[in-house]
Structure 1
Amino acid sequence: MFLVDIGNSRIKWAVSDGDAFTSIGEAEYVAKELDAQLDVMLNAFEKQSAIAVSSVAAPRVIKAFVSWVEARWQSDVYIIKTAQQEGSLINGYVNPERLGVDRWLAMIAATDAGNVGVPVCVIDCGSAITIDVVDVGGQHLGGMIAPGLSMMRNALVKGTSGIRLKDELPAEVSLLARDTEGAVTGGTLYAAVSMLDRMCSDIVASQGRQTQFFITGGDAPMLMPLLDNEFEYDANLVLNGLWRVATEVKN
């Protein structure tokens, strides 16, 4: 099965043989250029018999993706959405469909991979930083959403007249910077780390020290060395959840 996770700025894909991912890739995209970009991203793949896709992007993006698949591969497309319940996992939102499907799939994968009978916390560090907690009975207790590193940086650029930043985050960060670029990077990084450390502390206080923490997302490797808590890092957490749900839908 061909799996595709469409985020706000990146597309990630994987091919599953039923037991493992045989190929994984990702790339940034621009909505108005998606058709041409998919030609480049997926050019190496032959026609796929079944495609499962999850998306938190604008409706026009998923529509463009489905149109591309129908034109190039003539394949069945399964659009995976957030549900009220998946196995023992129960959606905690008042309006379940309003929970982002990426968060839902990450929780499905984390509760599958986690230790039996312990609470689970899932943190996704992408365009936004999302946090979700599931109790020992599989009840999603709710979550938090905060701006991600790039979003915080962009807010400073838009809200000030004297800050100019490069598009990509630097590979190394100093505690005390001697230039504006480094100062913004350090400030936003420590803002995210401080928020996550406090959040983890409060969750442990409410759910117990046995709580298992999972982390994923493009910015996770940059944040993890500074975090106090121990995390299970899985770059493919959302794709793992997508595979789990898509397999059930297809069968």
Structure 2
Amino acid sequence: MKQLVVDIGNTRIKAAVFEGDILLKEFIFEDFSSFLNEFKSRDFEHAIISSVTYTEEQLLGLLDFPFLFLSYKTPLPFKNMYTTPDTLGVDRKAAVAGGRNLFQDCPILAIDLGSCITYDFMDESDRYLGGAITPGLQMRFKAMSQLTARLPLVDFESGMEPRFIGDSTVSCLRSGVFYGIQFEMRGFIREYQAQYHGLKVIICGGDSKIFESLTKDHIFVIPNLVLHGLNRILSYNVNYQ
């Protein structure tokens, strides 16, 4: 049984076709029309869509196939202990669902490095407890430029670890953002590990490969974790009905 999972973000659309838990093919689209053209021929039985830019009503008018729209009302394969479930980001739910799909019977911490950095924790009893949200890499660069009078807007040089001691304003900004995020993540991971024995940590999201140096025992970089989570949620709802 093939399933289509779609994650519509602020800038791109990520999609994948699964058969069971096996990811058959992954797609990245820069616009909605490209996504529509790819899936004109329906080669799947079930679909799920997570979106931060389109409502369910808008998508119903644009798509000619039935789909499950991920919202705060969607049944989940874990117990949601979040006190404001209607404000919980759909990508955060999908990240912990994907983490549980990979690691069973242990606490998991999913760290999603996107526009914001989200830390989401699920205990060994499948209870999602919440986590933390901090500014993402590009957001930090933009904030320092836009909220000060003289600091420039700096891009991060992908694939190159910046020098720790910056010797110019630009290199200081790169050092501050890169190592600030790295030290933040290490601090969160260390504190969770101290409180929860056997913790598995999964790092995902668009900027996850930048921080692959953190990968070691019990820490894994899986950029498409959210897609795996959406597939797990879809399978749960197909069987739930």
Structure 2 counterparts to residues 54-203 of structure 1, below 5 A: 54-55=50-51, 57-59=52-54, 64-69=58-63, 74-82=64-72, 86-87=76-77, 89-116=78-105, 118-165=106-153, 169-172=157-160, 173-203=162-192
Q: Secondary structure at the match of 2:166?
A: coil
Letter in 2 for 1:181: V
The CA distance in 2 between the partners of 1:179 and 1:67, in whole Å, is 52
The CA distance in 1 between the partners of 2:113 and 2:227, in whole Å, is 15
Does the aligned pair in 1 maintain the 2:141–2:155 contact within 8 Å?
no
Q: Secondary structure at the match of 1:97?
A: helix
Q: TM-score, normalised by structure 1?
A: 0.81
Q: TM-score, normalised by structure 2?
A: 0.85
Letter in 2 for 1:68: L
Task: Kindly state the Cα deviation for residue 40 of structure 1 after the two structures are TM-superposed.
Answer: 3.0
Task: Kindly state the Cα deviation for residue 188 of structure 1 after the two structures are TM-superposed.
Answer: 0.7
Letter in 2 for 1:5: D
Give 1:234's aligned residue: 222
The one-character-per-residue Cα deviations of 1:80-119 (angstroms, maximum 9, x if unpaired) are 22458633x2112112222111111111121121142x21
The one-character-per-residue Cα deviations of 1:157-192 (angstroms, maximum 9, x if unpaired) are 101233333556443122233443332222111111
Gaps (5+ residues) in structure 1? 29-36
Q: CA RMSD in A?
A: 2.5
Q: Secondary structure at the match of 1:130?
A: strand
Say yes or no: does 1:17 pair with 2:6.
no
Structure 2 counterparts to residues 200-219 of structure 1, below 5 A: 200-208=189-197, 210-219=198-207
User: Relative contact order (alpha carbons < 8 A, sep ≥ 6): 1 or 2 greater?
Assistant: 2
Q: Secondary structure at the match of 1:76?
A: coil
Gaps (5+ residues) in structure 2? none
Task: Kindly state the Cα deviation for residue 65 of structure 1 after the two structures are TM-superposed.
Answer: 4.4
The CA distance in 2 between the partners of 1:114 and 1:11, in whole Å, is 26
The CA distance in 2 between the partners of 1:247 and 1:85, in whole Å, is 11
The CA distance in 2 between the partners of 1:167 and 1:78, in whole Å, is 37
Does the aligned pair in 2 maintain the 1:197–1:229 contact within 8 Å?
no
The CA distance in 2 between the partners of 1:197 and 1:19, in whole Å, is 30
Q: Secondary structure at the match of 1:202?
A: helix
Does the aligned pair in 2 maintain the 1:93–1:142 contact within 8 Å?
yes
Q: How many residues align?
A: 234
Task: Kindly state the Cα deviation for residue 10 of structure 1 after the two structures are TM-superposed.
Answer: 2.6
Give 2:47's aligned residue: 51
Task: Kindly state the Cα deviation for residue 149 of structure 1 after the two structures are TM-superposed.
Answer: 0.4
Identity of aligned residues (%): 28
The CA distance in 2 between the partners of 1:104 and 1:162, in whole Å, is 39
Farther off after superposition, 170-179 or 183-192? 170-179
Task: Kindly state the Cα deviation for residue 42 of structure 1 after the two structures are TM-superposed.
Answer: 4.6
